Amino acid sequence: MKRTLTAVALLAAATAAQAQDKVTIEFAYPYSHLFDVTYEKILPKFKEQYPHIDVQMRAAYEGYEDGTNTILREAVSGNLPDVTMQGLNRQAILVEKGIAKSLEPFIAKEADFAKEGYHEAMLELGTFDSKVHGLPFSVSLPVGYYNMDLMKKAGITEYPKTWKDVVSACKTMRANGVSNPMFWGWNITGNWFLQAMMWSQNEPTVKGNKVNIDGDAGLTAFNTMHTLFRECEMKNLEWKEALSSFATGEIGMMFWSTSALGAVERAQGDFTLKTGPFPGIEGKPMGLPAGGNSAMLVSTSDDPKELEAAWLWLKFITSGEGAAEVARTTGYMPPNKAANEIILKDFYDQNPNKMTAVTQLPLLREWQAYPGDNGLAITQVIYDGIERIVVGDADDMEEFREELFEEVQELMPANGS
């Protein structure tokens, strides 16, 4: 009896100690329609490896701009999560304001961190002043989505290689009864497609503290947009509506991020879907902006156990099996060689639509942030400007470019010339 009581006492003590070791961390991420299914796959795997850590999900951000605005507000109110997912182009402001913590102290304790296989170019996207502040979770590039049934209905069997080819395909589809031949993702987050048009010409959208749209590259970008919108008679669809319309088979060609591929496939109607490389202005694009998001540590806790738990979660979702689920459930590419080359060894052979973006990786360029405190405001100004082209309120692109440049440059930090 004495042994039994002693055993019970020891078991109770161990259970109590285990309960005390339980750690809860909070996590926030954007785009629930893209990533909910991803985290549903990742969480059980993480829990199996770290049963003492409870990850509580906050309400998802609507998008990257909303995510950054939310974190900035929560930093003031003292209500930050432990880990946040932020757009690759929104990391800098959180570093500059001291909200995002350097990950270097945690990386230094990882004997095999380099072996996790992060792609150097992608890791650099979250590196500021030689210190890693964000680990890339998912990386995307713009691609073409094609409803091959509607394309074949119009006698089109090859992917368009240039935007002139796209316009020609639009006219051919319309002549063959396709009422909505194209959607081009002008309204995607962070003015991403403007940057795609600039990088296609090997020109950045931002040079120092100057917005680089006042030259020939900017005019070419806006003229190309104008031609696409007018000649294809593109409807001004809200982006979720556009993705839904394509998935149900109503749109012939859609130009969007590869990130939505998983969601489109899950909602896809009865048609053949193929993806193809992003067209260029005269030929193949010279560069394309890296989209996606990065995991950042923004915890205000001073509890070493909580910070360690947050790091374990952050590391898990960006490397190995965690990163592999990104590719399996979305159209994003894992920024991790271990996921791409080992875990996903046969994955892309079996999922050629998801391979398209991978083949474009040599074109990867920075998704630039607008410097200074007005970065989010500049994003909105450019968004509103491009919408004027879409709805027909702007036709003289040289005049439009000059007006937009002046409006944006006033919001840029001083000494931008």
Residue 93 · residue 375 · CB < 8 Å: yes
Q: What is the mean pLDDT, run by run of 10 residues, along the chain of 417 residues?
A: 47 46 96 94 96 97 95 97 95 95 93 69 84 92 96 91 97 94 96 98 96 97 98 94 95 96 94 97 95 95 97 92 88 82 83 92 91 94 98 97 97 74
Distance CA 231, CA 154 (A): 17
Q: Which two tokens stand for residue 56?
A: 């509580």
Same domain, 257 and 397: yes
Q: Which two tokens stand for residue 219?
A: 């005019």
Q: Which domain holds residue 323?
A: 22-140+291-365
Q: What's the first-to-final CA gap in the chain, in angstroms?
A: 86
Same domain, 154 and 80: no
Q: Is residue 43 part of a domain?
A: yes
Q: Residue for token digits 């879907």?
A: 273
Q: Which pLDDT value is given to residue 156?
A: 92
Q: Is residue 416 part of a domain?
A: no
Q: Which two tokens stand for residue 91?
A: 């990391």
Question: Which residues are within 8 A (CB) of 408 and not within 5 positions of it... i.e. 6 or more apart?
Answer: 211, 213, 370, 378, 381, 382
Q: Is residue 414 part of a domain?
A: no
Q: Which pLDDT value is given to residue 129?
A: 93
Helix (H, G, I), strand (E, B) or coil at 24: strand
Q: Which whole-number Å values give the CA distances from 9 to 1, 14, 20, 188, 307, in the listed order?
A: 12, 9, 16, 60, 32
Same domain, 162 and 263: yes
Q: Which whole-number Å values give the CA distances from 81 to 24, 35, 70, in the listed order?
A: 11, 18, 11
DSSP class per residue in 128-173: ETTEE-EEEEEEE-EEEEEEHHHHHHTT--S---BHHHHHHHHHHH
pTM, to two decimals: 0.87
Q: Is residue 393 part of a domain?
A: yes
Q: Is residue 12 part of a domain?
A: no
Task: Read off the CATH number of the domain in which 88 is found.
Answer: 3.40.190.10
Same domain, 45 and 86: yes
Helix (H, G, I), strand (E, B) or coil at 273: strand
- Classify burial at 12, counting beta carbons within 10 Å of its beta carbon; exposed 0-12, middle 13-18, buried 19 or more: exposed
Domains: count for the chain: 2
Q: Is residue 353 part of a domain?
A: yes
Same domain, 344 and 375: no
Nearest to 278 by CA among 167, 391, 136, 163: 163
Q: Which two tokens stand for residue 137?
A: 């979770």
Q: Which whole-number Å values give the CA distances from 288 to 146, 176, 190, 262, in the listed order?
A: 20, 32, 14, 21
Q: Which pLDDT value is given to residue 114?
A: 65
Q: Which pLDDT value is given to residue 187?
A: 96
Q: Which pLDDT value is given to residue 116?
A: 58
Q: Is residue 6 part of a domain?
A: no
